[in-house]
Structure 1
């Protein structure tokens, strides 16, 4: 039978991508602190031409270790969910989501430098939650419940409750994730219980499926001849001899 490889929740490649992307943020913070690069000035500064560069660089800039640690823990889990459940759309959601979240911050933000990857965190939380609700598929709904359980408390920070927090970046990311949940049509990664459910399944290579013709009729195999079976041997020539004996009486 054709061998089918099923996707694994703990597939190393997806985990490596998630951890690798977060490691880039740590490298940027290390370089900033080690060489005193003052990367903060490369953040989003709303409604200024110079502040547009922050749309690209903001996710890589963090204030300190505490700021980056909080975002890193969330990002590793959320990126893992994204690349596992939506592998075909993951990169588009991540890249376009980061750009549009930064652009939204540039449009509505206060006149200050907005830094950090929290906008992406809110974008991913919103996308994963609403996409699961919109899909109606039980696995994605379960994912939505997990996201709410883990990150539901983040919702408060899309409002201006703390002047030190860029709630504008949070709100922009949350809105972009909501829009992407309705626009992105990529489905969930399926786990196939039977080989013939897999899209790469080839019936012509499966011994069982070859037993059926084009109309779906079962075609039994012709039995191989048994050399010990007399019915399969060539028929022997049978000769019948008749001996006629005279029945006449003596003297007649």
Structure 2
């Protein structure tokens, strides 16, 4: 696939992140309107009822600060996913929510685990590892950008702070890494120069023929175009003498 066809803007790049942000803010707004709390719909590990949180937990947040902290990373990473990996973006999103939620349900502490941070870890992990695996320069640059901007997130996959679902973060990180390996995404083929091809023969390279074994430049007279001589034919036209007028 050519680079121009692959990196092509579509409405999904804006619509998907916008819908994601609107959905989490709408749920929080409903909690305020009805003066209620949806935390009980979060993931409660190793409890069959708590399994419903695998689907619902990414939309539930405990406070405005919690919601705000997840909004910007979610929007940026979703936009990056749908732009650079548009052919697999929906699958990564759905599988990422389900698998990271299941991991949290299996390894989590007996408490309600809520928030979109697990999904954010899925996206950051997938984009980083997939970019490295593709070996395509633009996607590798994106991976490095994710490390630069969100590299500090790595610390929160460990239990270093109370009140944070490190299990959800770890589940998201592992899920993103797994999806990066298993999900096959169409990416632009890396550009191969002539010397990188399998059928390349160094001794037949016209450029390298201008250098000896020590790397010194040499003139190849045999390769110079032969001078062509063309004869020029000149035709003269003579006018007859006009008779004198008396």
Which runs of 5 or more residues in structure 2 are unaligned? 190-246
1:91 & 1:12 partners in 2: Cα distance? 14
Root-mean-square deviation (CA, aligned residues, Å) is: 1.6
Report the alpha carbon displacement of residue 37 of structure 1 after superposing the two structures with TM.
2.9
Give a deviation string over 1:95-141, Cα, whole Å, max 9, x none: 11101111100000000000001000001000000001111111110
8 Å Cα contact 2:12-2:82 kept in structure 1:
no
Alignment of 1:232-251 (within 5 A): none
Match of 2:164 in 1: 165
2:127 & 2:58 partners in 1: Cα distance? 19
Match of 2:187 in 1: 188
The two structures have a TM-score, normalised by structure 1, of: 0.71
Give a deviation string over 1:197-217, Cα, whole Å, max 9, x none: xxxxxxxxxxxxxxxxxxxxx
8 Å Cα contact 1:84-1:189 kept in structure 2:
no
Match of 1:141 in 2: 140
2:179 & 2:42 partners in 1: Cα distance? 24
Match of 2:20 in 1: 21
Match of 2:87 in 1: 88
Report the alpha carbon displacement of residue 64 of structure 1 after superposing the two structures with TM.
1.1
Distance 1:159 1:168, change over 3 A: same
Report the alpha carbon displacement of residue 8 of structure 1 after superposing the two structures with TM.
4.1
SS of the residue corresponding to residue 181 of structure 1 reads helix
8 Å Cα contact 1:59-1:117 kept in structure 2:
yes
Alignment of 1:72-87 (within 5 A): 72-87=71-86
1:62 correspondence with 2:61: yes
Work out the number of aligned pairs and report it. Answer: 186
Match of 2:243 in 1: none
2:97 & 2:56 partners in 1: Cα distance? 10
Distance 1:129 1:36, change over 3 A: same
Give a deviation string over 1:65-109, Cα, whole Å, max 9, x none: 110111110010000010011111100100111011111000000
SS of the residue corresponding to residue 163 of structure 2 reads coil
The two structures have a TM-score, normalised by structure 2, of: 0.72
1:41 & 1:57 partners in 2: Cα distance? 10
* Moved beyond 3 Å, runs of 4+: 4-9
2:159 & 2:117 partners in 1: Cα distance? 15
